[in-house]
């Protein structure tokens, strides 16, 4: 068993970055995720593993430092909260276009604009439908506990390098600020420059005599080649959809109704499910772990088992609910419930929404 | 066993750290714990509160509106959270500075003169440990020895010399908590 600690979600993510053998973190502070860079600065990872931690002059600088380091085959990450993540979108699009691996975290706060520093899940569209320009996708992992804030850093780097894709860890102010018990995984050694050069034939590690030039770019002025590149990206995304869907079903076996939620909303909804079960309502929880890829097939299977209604619970005006609708294809009623703008819904409110919007009709 | 608690008072009273020590104590006896603070502008000079859950099972929502126990350390928090105690639950408060005392008849109400006892002990900083001791007398959800273990784990080594004083404060709280109404 690994080391047990009581940590904030943000601290667990930072500690996991060091332990995952990351080479660098570039970031810029913003509430509610500033503990990430605070923890890293205090921990002095350069002394522990040689990992570089740098506060950039802006979020835009930070993401472009990530772009450069990723191009050199390094394990690199950044983190921010909603307004800061918006600033990073150009860089993310370039990283996706250049097929580079990186991990970044968004500890979401209420928007739009500067919004509020309180928790929100209103960045779902930005996270899963683009965010930056162009036909790209990124893997989106949604931790619902401090443990997952740690575990998903390691998983994120594995997926990022396997598919050469940006991986987003999408949490919110609840998961970032709360403390829970976390079992830390053992230190993974950083790769040496030689190991990077050998392992990643695409990385720009310095041209040796007699070897081909490696070019990191998202630009090709030949549209035929660019279409080919886009087709290649789409094939990759299809493979990811086929192989990397992750979710958790709680009390769904006999469920007549299902609540779909992710992150902190999933935790709150789980309590609502417990309360509903005590009242004899047969309801289950479909917790999304990957938001892209989205578990559409698994939802269709539940439809076939006769689910009568779906309630999408998210701290937004209704974003994920669109993917639930597309997935269940009209097999049953789908409704949305969520507070937003920094207000966190309570288990009681979720239960009331289930009774009024789904069961009551 | 699941115990859902809110601790609420002024920023600077040690509300958040009391919750943290309680959570660490739970970990020391293999329980699941969560600690969810109010964060942001509220913290700076205003009210501070934290929801702590200690359970034998996986914890669902870290955010709640109804609690088994409310530990209340100022008037604003009394006004806000007296109604949030589950019927049959517990409200523990320090009467110092409270002008509108709790009135509910369907919960058990306890008082601890935390601020006064801390002053008598010559250290106002151990106020929160006195209150924690009082809570653990009423609801012994974690063993005192595990609180001490939790303190050792959460405090940097250079502060370990303060642990005996914290232990005294916990004992002081345990001895001095009084029930101010009775359900029977």
Say if CB A184 and CB A156 are below 8 A apart.
Answer: no
Q: Does residue A209 belong to any structural domain of this protein?
A: no
| pLDDT confidence tier of residue B16, bands split at 50, 70 and 90 | very high
CATH code of domain B2-179: 3.40.920.10
CA–CA separation, A225 and A249 (whole Å): 43
SS (H, E, C) A259-285: EEEEHHHHHHHHHHHHHHHHCCCCEEE
Does residue A185 sit in the same domain as residue A319? no
Does residue A270 sit in the same domain as residue A187? no
Interchain CB distance below 8 Å, B65 and A32: no
A301: domain CATH number is: 3.40.50.920
Low-confidence ranges of chain A (pLDDT < 50): none
Which residues, including other chains, have CB under 8 Å from residue A225's CB and lie 6 or more apart? none
A167: domain CATH number is: 3.40.50.970
Q: Does residue A80 belong to any structural domain of this protein?
A: yes
pLDDT of residue A361: 61
pLDDT of residue B38: 87
pLDDT of residue A360: 86
Is the peptide bond preceding residue A256 cis, with omega within 30 degrees of 0?
no
CA–CA separation, B92 and B112 (whole Å): 7
Cα dist. A305→A258, A302, A359, B22 in Å? 12, 5, 18, 44
Does residue A29 sit in the same domain as residue A127? yes
Which residues, including other chains, have CB under 8 Å from residue B23's CB and lie 6 or more apart? A6, A179, B33, B34, B35, B52, B54, B150
Average pLDDT, chain B: 93
Q: Where are the beta strands (DSSP E) in chain B?
A: 2-10, 32-37, 47-55, 67-72, 85-93, 108-111, 178-179
Cα dist. B110→A49, A184, B103, B182 in Å? 51, 39, 12, 9
Interchain CB distance below 8 Å, A348 and B65: yes
> With an 8 Å Cβ cutoff, is B33 touching chain A?
yes
* Number of structural domains chain A divides into: 2
Q: Is A238 left (phi over 0), alpha (psi -120 to 50) or beta?
A: alpha
**Residue tagged 């714990």 (tokens):** B33
Say if CB A232 and CB A305 are below 8 A apart.
Answer: no
Numbers of helices and strands, H then E, in chain B: 6, 7
pLDDT of residue B184: 47
Say if CB B36 and CB A172 are below 8 A apart.
Answer: no
Q: Is A274 exposed, middle or buried (0-12, 13-18, 19+ CB in 10 A)?
A: middle
Locate the domains of chain B by residue range: 2-179
CA–CA separation, A229 and A118 (whole Å): 40
* Residues of chain A contacting residue B37, judged by C-beta atoms under 8 Å apart: 177-178
CA–CA separation, A163 and A142 (whole Å): 18
CA–CA separation, B80 and B83 (whole Å): 7
Tokens read off for A217:
């770019």
CA–CA separation, A8 and B52 (whole Å): 13
Task: Work out the percent of chain B whose per-residue pLDDT is above 90.
Answer: 84
- The shortest C-alpha distance from B35 to chain A (Å) reads 5
Three-class SS state of B6? strand
pLDDT of residue B42: 58
Backbone angles phi, psi at A119, to 5 degrees: -60, 150
DSSP letters, A12-31, are HHHHHHHHTT-SEEEE---T
Of B27, B35, B40, the CB nearest to A31: B40
pLDDT of residue B154: 79
Say if CB B73 and CB B58 are below 8 A apart.
Answer: no
Would the pLDDT of B46 be above 80?
no
Q: Is A194 exposed, middle or buried (0-12, 13-18, 19+ CB in 10 A)?
A: exposed
Looking at per-residue pLDDT, the higher value among B151 and A162 belongs to A162
Mutation for testing the A interface, residue in B7, B41, B63, B154 having most A CBs under 10 Å: B63
Does residue A178 sit in the same domain as residue A311? no
SS3 content of chain B, % helix, strand, coil (to 5): 45, 25, 30
> With an 8 Å Cβ cutoff, is A338 touching chain B?
no
pLDDT of residue B44: 58
| pLDDT confidence tier of residue B40, bands split at 50, 70 and 90 | low
B28 forms beta bridges with none
Does residue A166 sit in the same domain as residue A275? no
Interchain CB distance below 8 Å, B63 and A346: yes
B5 forms beta bridges with B52, B69
Does residue A64 sit in the same domain as residue A167? yes
What letter would DSSP give residue A354? I
Of A177, A272, A273, the CB nearest to B39: A177
Would the pLDDT of B182 be above 80?
no
Sign of CA dihedral B137, B141, B146, B150: negative
Would the pLDDT of B45 be above 70?
no
Q: Is A21 left (phi over 0), alpha (psi -120 to 50) or beta?
A: left
Does residue A253 sit in the same domain as residue A179? no
Range of the domain at A75: 3-193
Sign of CA dihedral B61, B67, B73, B76: positive
Is the peptide bond preceding residue A293 cis, with omega within 30 degrees of 0?
yes
Which residues, including other chains, have CB under 8 Å from residue B164's CB and lie 6 or more apart? none
Does residue A109 sit in the same domain as residue A174? yes
Does ipTM top 0.90? yes
- The shortest C-alpha distance from A352 to chain B (Å) reads 14
Does residue A124 sit in the same domain as residue A40? yes
Does residue A26 sit in the same domain as residue A161? yes
Does residue A126 sit in the same domain as residue A20? yes
Q: Does residue A42 belong to any structural domain of this protein?
A: yes
Three-class SS state of A96? helix
Q: pLDDT tens digit string along B81-112?
A: 999 999 999 999 999 999 999 999 999 999 99
> With an 8 Å Cβ cutoff, is A118 touching chain B?
yes
Three-class SS state of B171? helix
| pLDDT confidence tier of residue B41, bands split at 50, 70 and 90 | low
Q: Does residue A206 belong to any structural domain of this protein?
A: no
Interchain CB distance below 8 Å, B61 and A268: yes
A92 forms beta bridges with none
CA–CA separation, A62 and A104 (whole Å): 11
CA–CA separation, B46 and B10 (whole Å): 6
Size of interface A-B (CB pairs under 8 A): 73
Q: State mean pLDDT over B129-135.
A: 97
**Cβ atoms < 10 Å from Cβ of B63:** 19
CA–CA separation, A345 and A200 (whole Å): 45
Q: Does residue A198 belong to any structural domain of this protein?
A: no
């Amino acid at each position: 068993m690994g080391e047990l600690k009581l940590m904030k979600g943000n601290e667990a993510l930072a500690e996991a970055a060091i332990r995952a053998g990351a080479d660098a973190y570039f970031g810029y502070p913003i509430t509610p995720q500033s503990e990430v860079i605070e923890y890293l600065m205090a921990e002095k990872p350069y002394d522990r593993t040689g990992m570089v931690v740098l506060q950039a002059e802006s979020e835009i600088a930070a993401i472009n430092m990530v772009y450069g380091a990723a191009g050199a085959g390094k394990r690199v990450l950044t983190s921010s909260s909603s307004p800061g993540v918006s600033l990073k979108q150009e860089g993310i699009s370039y990283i996706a276009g250049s097929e580079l691996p990186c991990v970044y975290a968004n500890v979401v706060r209420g928007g739009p604009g500067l919004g509020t520093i309180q928790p929100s899940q209103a960045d779902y569209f930005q996270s899963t439908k683009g965010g930056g320009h162009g036909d790209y996708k990124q893997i989106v992992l949604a931790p619902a506990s401090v443990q997952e804030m740690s575990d998903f850093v390691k998983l994120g780097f594995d997926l990022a390098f396997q598919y050469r894709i940006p991986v987003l860890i999408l949490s919110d102010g609840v998961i970032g600020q709360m403390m829970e018990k976390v079992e830390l995984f053992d230190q993974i050694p950083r790769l040496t420059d030689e190991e990077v050069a050998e392992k990643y034939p695409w990385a720009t590690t310095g041209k040796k005599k007699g070897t081909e030039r490696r070019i990191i770019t998202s630009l090709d002025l030949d549209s035929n080649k660019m279409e080919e590149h886009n087709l290649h990206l789409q094939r990759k995304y299809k493979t990811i959809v086929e192989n990397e869907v992750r979710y958790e079903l709680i009390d769904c076996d006999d469920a007549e109704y299902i609540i779909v939620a992710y992150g902190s909303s999933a935790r709150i909804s789980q309590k609502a499910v417990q309360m509903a079960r005590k009242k004899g309502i047969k309801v289950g929880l479909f917790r999304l772990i990957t938001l892209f890829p989205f578990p559409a097939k698994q939802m269709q299977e539940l439809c076939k088992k006769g689910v009568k209604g779906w309630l999408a619970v998210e701290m937004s005006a209704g974003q994920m609910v669109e993917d639930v609708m597309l997935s269940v294809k009209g097999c049953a009623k789908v409704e949305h419930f969520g507070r937003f703008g920094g207000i966190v819904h309570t288990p009681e409110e979720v239960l009331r929404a289930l009774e009024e919007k789904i069961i009551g009709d | 066993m699941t115990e859902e608690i809110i601790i609420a008072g002024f920023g600077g009273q040690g509300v958040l750290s009391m919750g943290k020590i309680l959570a660490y104590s739970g970990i020391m006896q293999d329980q699941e714990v969560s600690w969810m603070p109010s964060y942001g502008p509220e913290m700076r000079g205003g009210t501070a509160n934290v929801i702590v859950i200690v359970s034998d099972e996986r914890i669902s929502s870290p955010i709640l509106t109804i609690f088994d126990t409310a530990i209340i350390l100022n008037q604003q928090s009394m006004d806000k959270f007296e109604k949030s105690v589950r019927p049959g639950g517990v409200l523990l408060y320090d009467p110092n500075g409270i002008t509108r005392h709790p009135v509910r008849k369907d919960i058990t109400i306890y008082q601890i003169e935390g601020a006064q006892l801390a002053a008598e002990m010559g250290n106002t900083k151990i106020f929160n440990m006195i209150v924690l001791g009082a809570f653990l007398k009423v609801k012994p959800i974690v063993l005192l020895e595990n609180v001490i273990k939790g303190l050792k784990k959460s405090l940097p080594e250079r502060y370990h010399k303060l642990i005996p004083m914290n232990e005294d404060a916990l004992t002081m709280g345990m001895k001095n908590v009084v029930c101010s109404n009775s359900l029977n």
